[in-house]
A and B are shown apart, each in its own frame.
Chain A
């Protein structure tokens, strides 16, 4: 397949009409959920290298949106633009729009801290702070100004319960979080992200380093959290995307190739590249 063809195809995909047909129409259970996050013609450069090329996409409230694609396709990079975590990377330049709740988050007047309160993130490698479990979960509320111990306790318990790790954690709240296993640590990180009560949770391959049982637990958790939160998950595991997500977006070489209802994507992909990837011909 030649490059020119690919570009043409993409332009087609990214046309506004296409997007409207995707957005919500195929969703059976919850029709026409409002759009929470949308990006328009998002380009991202690391120095001279372009990592994202004209990505236009809408993410709907209280849905699980999964990004799939081979390594280095830009899906994690895209995820990190949604809470401006790329800000810390030197030489990273972004053009285009990222709109959350009607606000362009790359507007210079935006307060990044306010944004990140609302858009939580779980990382690929579990990264609990070298502090106690309690301290880990309470970290977010504390830096947001919560001082009351009772409230903090309440938040900690609630978050740990939400992240389905309360039973394992309740007796060792004041032990180091590093004593947990990898899967437990990752769920703790989810609890930590929940503690600031975000609206959107970004998950960057949250289960990639975990064993199957822990992975299953995380997936279950995502399913539960969907009720209250908008979840965006990056995964390299197509089965996982198929299991947990409502909407799937396929990235390849920095471009958004196709986006649609997960069931449709996996049964009847519109693009040849998507089909090739899903059937395991590359990636």
Chain B
């Protein structure tokens, strides 16, 4: 080439510009479609639901064959179930995460196996947990307890809030483990070393340095677990959720109403679906508000943890 020249490249440049615009346009459009989906889902639920969203709706029991009234027992049932679930899953998950990051040797086959198991557990369909809960907790443990304590009497060997919470606890265990482990990683190794070098034992280091340093992560794990527990329905379909129960659960052996399950039964099982549609909308709206609040606080906390991780 004798001379350096841009001559004759105009066509190519035009083509490149065109492709560039098409590429960013198409991908931008895809992003827009997703955003639109989210907006449409949220707005249609809120538009359908806000009219009934009253204090009475939140604090009254369903009446007239569930075609009227509120969702108070479902809210309380959900809250109790998630509380029971967190009481089991959060300490267990936290301790397991501590074990994995501080006790198990990081690259040992054992630790790797456990991590893989935790990841697998996180991706198992939630309905499988339901199966497990029914087969193991209700039929095996519950019936076993009945056979021993009150032979012939059906006390534990039926779906109840305890078994549902335990099933849900297993479902949320990996959520807690993963987020606490992530939080523990944000505690600078320097500090751990400094503590050990001062003659602190492993436990003292965990208690005084690691746990205070990863508190926000533990909190995130807890919130995410609660949010998941509040929203999942499949695991409790046959481990304890009740269609309609006027009173709130009073013992570990009672069944309970659950917001998600309530939506499911109202929209597919009730005798008069059309009549309850406004109630369904509002219940969905309540559930959505609940999970939003939890998720947004988890996202905020987690982004704080992540920025700390980057800084460290």
Contacts and interface: CB of A to CB of B under 8 A. Distances in A.
Q: Do chains A and B touch in the complex (CB under 8 A)?
A: yes
B261 to A, nearest CB: 44
A264 B204 CA distance: 45
Given A90-B107, A116-B199, A129 B209 contact: yes
Interface string A187-205: 0010011001000000000
Given A91-B107, A130-B213, A143 B193 contact: no
A105 B195 CA distance: 19
Interface string A115-134: 01100110101010110000
Interface string B248-280: 000000000000000000000000000000000
Given A90-B106, A129-B209, A143-B204, A120 B193 contact: no
Given A125-B190, A127-B191, A129-B191, A193 B197 contact: yes
Give the residue among B192, B194, B198 with the most A Cβ atoms within 10 A: B198
B197 A88 contact: no
A192 B196 CA distance: 12
Contacts of A130: 191, 213
A116 B213 contact: no
A140 B196 contact: no
Nearest to B108: A90
Contacts of A121: 193-194, 197
A55 to B, nearest CB: 21
Contacts of B200: 113, 139-140, 143
Contacts of B193: 85, 88, 121, 123, 127
A144 interface: yes
A105 to B, nearest CB: 14
B201 interface: yes
A140 B105 contact: no
Interface residues of A, number: 24
Nearest to A114: B199
Interface in B105-147: 105-108
A248 interface: no
Contacts of B199: 113-114, 116-117, 140, 143-144, 196
A18 B143 CA distance: 78
Interface in A157-210: 189, 192-193, 196
Given A90-B107, A143-B208, A120 B198 contact: yes
B188 interface: yes
A80 B191 CA distance: 15
A83 interface: yes
Contacts of A139: 195, 198, 200, 208
A193 B200 CA distance: 12
B92 to A, nearest CB: 25
Nearest to A83: B197
Contacts of B209: 129
B190 A85 contact: no
Interface in B179-211: 188, 190-201, 204, 208-209
Nearest to B212: A130
A120 B255 CA distance: 59
Interface in B150-201: 188, 190-201
B194 A189 contact: yes
B198 A85 contact: no
Interface string A210-247: 00000000000000000000000000000000000000
Given A114-B199, A116-B199, 13 more contacts: A85-B196, A88-B192, A88-B193, A113-B199, A113-B201, A116-B198, A121-B193, A123-B197, A127-B193, A129-B191, A130-B213, A143-B199, A192-B198
Interface of A: 83, 85, 88, 90-91, 113-114, 116-117, 120-121, 123, 125, 127, 129-130, 139-140, 143-144, 189, 192-193, 196
30 contacts: A83-B197, A85-B197, A88-B192, A88-B196, A90-B105, A90-B106, A113-B200, A113-B201, A116-B196, A116-B197, A117-B199, A121-B197, A123-B190, A123-B194, A127-B188, A127-B190, A127-B193, A127-B194, A129-B195, A130-B191, A139-B200, A139-B208, A143-B195, A143-B199, A143-B200, A143-B204, A144-B199, A193-B197, A193-B198, A196-B198
Shortest 3 CB-CB contacts between residues of A and residues of B: A127-B190, A121-B197, A117-B199
